[in-house]
Amino acid sequence: MRNAPTILHLDMDAFFAAVEQASKPSLRGKAVVVGGLGPRGVVATASYEARVFGVHSAMPMAQARRLAPNAAYLVPRFTLYRAISEQVMALLRELSPLVEPLSLDEAFVDLEAGGTAWDEESARRAGEKLRADIRAVTGLTGSVGLAASKMLAKIASEQAKPDGLVLIEPGTERDMLAPMPVRTLPGVGPATGDHLRRAGITTVRELAEAGEDELVRLLGKAHGQALYAMAHARDERPVVAEREAKSVSVEDTYDVDIHDRLRVGLEVQRLADRCVRRLRGAGLSGRTIVLKVRRYDFSTLTRSETLRGPTDDPAVIREAAARLLDSVDTTGGVRLLGVGVSGLADYTQEDLFAQAMPVRVVEEPEEAAVEAEAEQPEAAERQWRAGQDVRHAEYGPGWVQGSGLGRVTVRFETPQSEPGRVRTFFVDDPALSSAEPLPLVADPSHPPTCPGPPNSARRGVPPRTPEERRDREEPRGRAESRGGPDEVRGSGGVRVTEEVCATEEAGDGGRASVPGEVRARGDTRIWEREEGPGREESRGQVSSEPASLPKSWSGSGGEEAVSRP
């Protein structure tokens, strides 16, 4: 272990909720809960204001609604979170080439490897500068932990939350850890925690005193040894920048259990296609197909099948998934289905055949079908989800507060505006369309990588501070200037409903969605249409590096790439 606190862990504060508050001025200082809005949704992130009521991530949404009935409940907008995450990761890469993202809102940085820090003093400086830069570029806050190892840096950032920095001085680690509960250590979850408690071990000190043999006996070799080392503040894991994906999977939890076996089969086919799209999108193929089934009683089982070689052929993967389903009893109903592929490679067996064969077999019909389904025509079903970005031909940009009974309520405000007003429309109002997120900070020198705002949003000198930003609100300034005449759509003009907007009190931003209203129409799962629910983040970064070859094919190292046609 190094003797200077030069491993940095960054953790953005209540990331999803903080992004929503930055985007929606009426929600600042309010309880905001981001997550699945369906009957089986769970909380992805709760703002600190919502945590006061006891709401926390992974909690069932129904429970959150009971605890904080007046909070704003919003669907996650992953596209925006990813764009902001990319801005943050870019700042980290300015500190060091060794950046290891753990999720959209978390990463390790090896400051020493970047030459950015070599002792306590320089590490603290780098950490504080990073926090300031993140605030300037994104308008958000992040907490920083600095220590001599990954484990300790992560514990430090946890202690620093929210909006702080904690540095653990080398030499003090063991004393600091000793009184902490075992659950503080990464890798100790509910099951291990219980296990240890039954053995009379509740603190890190007791863990350290138990001895390695005892821990191995209790928890198994790998876990026991790892925990014993961590309890003694020993952690030599390096910061690793590029990690290759090992599996790709998709799954859906249904609002209502599926009993119809035929329907179960159809869903599995859909999931197989979706999985293939993800696989291909990452330029990968895989050998092992996995089917996951969660039954009505939450019991979960998996079935897998390994092919002779890797594939990304939708027909092959669908058939494998169907075969696997044959071996599963689904009587009683199914609440979740999933399809995954592991044993990944960055080439397919077909590629190898193609090398040998002069003529490539062309385009199976499946491919076209998959492509077509990839683009979910959003106009097909006009469903408005709480939190979603929209634009109105007359009123400009806003977001959906709620919908139901054929109406949709929109609050018109932007990241740089004052808290906006609420108006209600028919759900099929032609003047209303979904829109791209607006950038949180209007600064052209750090544009988000997702589709940005109309040019008019970026005109002028960007504000540098939150105060300055607040002073320069341009109410609806960009509403009229996007695009040309084609922007005025529909012939019927604006069709505002009779209740046009009971403009709400500015203080009432909390009631953003009425429980249950956004999920009208049976078991249609509206909020997952675009990206699916998620908690704080989803990993799945897939590097463009060539995946290693399956051992059986590659002789020794497996790093030498197969040349592609």
Partner DNA sequence: TCTGGGGTCCTAGGACCC
In degrees, rounded to 5, the angle at the alpha carbon of residue 307 between the alpha carbons of residues 303 and 309 is 145
Q: Which stretch binds DNA (CB under 7 A): 241-249, 460-468, 499-507, 513-521?
A: 241-249
Outline where DSSP puts E strands in 278-381.
Answer: 285-295, 300-311, 334-345
Quick one: tokens of 42? 């769970």
Cα–Cα distance, 418 to 80 (Å, whole number): 21
Show the site string, 388-427: x = touches DNA by CB under 7 A, - = not.
----------------------------------------
> Which residue, 298 or 492, is less far from DNA as judged by CB?
298
Of residues 306 and 355, the one with the C-beta less far from DNA: 306
Site for DNA in 70-109 (CB under 7 A): 102-103, 105-106
Quick check: 455 binds DNA (CB under 7 A)?
Answer: no
Active-site amino acid positions: 106
CB-nearer residue toward DNA: 157 or 403:
157
**Could you say which of 24, 277, 278, 519 contacts DNA (CB under 7 A)?**
278
* Helix or strand (DSSP H, E) at 258: strand 247-258
Q: How far is CA 233 from CA 148, 180, 204, 348, 424, in A?
A: 10, 12, 10, 44, 57
User: Which of 21, 47, 57, 401 touches DNA (CB under 7 A)?
Assistant: 57
Q: Is 11 annotated as a binding residue?
A: yes
Distance CA(31)–CA(17), nearest Å, equals 9
Q: Is 235 in the site for DNA (CB under 7 A)?
A: no
| Of 22-30, 110-118, 303-311, 353-361: span binding DNA (CB under 7 A) | 303-311
**Of 40 and 93, CB closest to DNA:** 40
Does 250 bind DNA (CB under 7 A)? Our answer is yes
**Number of Cβ atoms within 10 Å of the Cβ of 28:** 16
- Which of 76, 396 has the CB closer to DNA? 76
CB of 454 to DNA, least distance (A): 31
105 annotated among ligand-binding-site residues: yes
Any contact of residue 193 with DNA (CB under 7 A)?
yes
Q: Select from 2, 232, 303, 459 the one that contacts DNA (CB under 7 A).
A: 303
Which residues ranging from 32 to 51 are in contact with DNA (CB under 7 A)? 36, 39-42, 44
Candidate residues 306, 455, 465, 543; the one interacting with DNA per rule CB under 7 A: 306
DSSP 367: H
Residues 6+ apart with CB under 8 A from 363: none
Q: How many residues does the chain have?
A: 565
Q: What are the DSSP calls for 111-126, one per residue?
A: TTTTTS-SSHHHHHHH
Q: Does 268 bind DNA (CB under 7 A)?
A: no
Coil, strand or helix at 153: helix
* Binding of residue 465 to DNA (CB under 7 A): no
Judged by CB under 7 A, which stretch of 134-142, 165-173, 217-225, 422-430 contacts DNA?
217-225
Strand order in the sheet with 99-103: 99-103, 106-110, 7-12, 142-147, 165-167
The region of 21-29, 169-177, 218-226, 485-493 touching DNA under the rule CB under 7 A is 218-226
Is there a contact between 365 and 378 (Cβ–Cβ < 8 Å)?
Answer: no
Task: Give dist(CA 114, CA 108) in Å, integer.
Answer: 12
Rounded to whole angstroms, how far apart are CA atoms 521 and 80?
A: 28
Total residues at interface with DNA (CB under 7 A): 68
Cα–Cα dist 382/545, whole Å? 40
Residues 329-348 that bind DNA (CB under 7 A): 335-336, 338, 340, 342-343
Q: Give the binding range for DNA (CB under 7 A) out of 61-69, 360-368, 392-400, 495-503.
A: 61-69
> How near is the Cβ of 280 to DNA at its closest, in Å?
13
For DNA, the binding residues in 129-168 under the rule CB under 7 A are: 154
Which span sits near DNA by CB under 7 A: 247-255, 400-408, 416-424, 430-438?
247-255
Q: What is the distance between the alpha carbons of residues 37 and 72, in angstroms, rounded to a whole number?
A: 11
- Closest by CA to 409, choosing from 493, 481, 509, 532, is 509
Question: Considering only residues 3, 171, 200, 298, which one is a binding residue for DNA as defined by CB under 7 A?
Answer: 298
Provide the minimum distance between the beta carbon of 186 and DNA in the complex, in angstroms, as a whole number.
5
**Min CB(82)–DNA separation in Å:** 13
Amino acid at 97: P
Please name which of 318, 363, 353, 378 lies closest in space to residue 531, comparing C-alpha atoms.
378
Q: What is the Cα–Cα distance from 462 to 549, expressed in whole angstroms?
A: 49
Contacts of residue 499, defined as CB under 8 A and 6 or more positions apart, other chains included, come to 407, 424
Residues 521-560 that bind DNA (CB under 7 A): 528, 532-540, 551-552
d(CA 424, CA 417): 20
- Shortest Cβ 528–DNA spacing (Å): 6
Which residues participate in the annotated binding site?
A: 11, 105
The footprint of DNA (CB under 7 A) covers 36, 39-42, 44, 57-58, 60, 62-63, 66, 102-103, 105-106, 154, 186-193, 220-223, 245-253, 278, 287-288, 298, 300-306, 327, 335-336, 338, 340, 342-343, 528, 532-540, 551-552
Which residues participate in the annotated binding site for Mg(2+)?
A: 11, 105
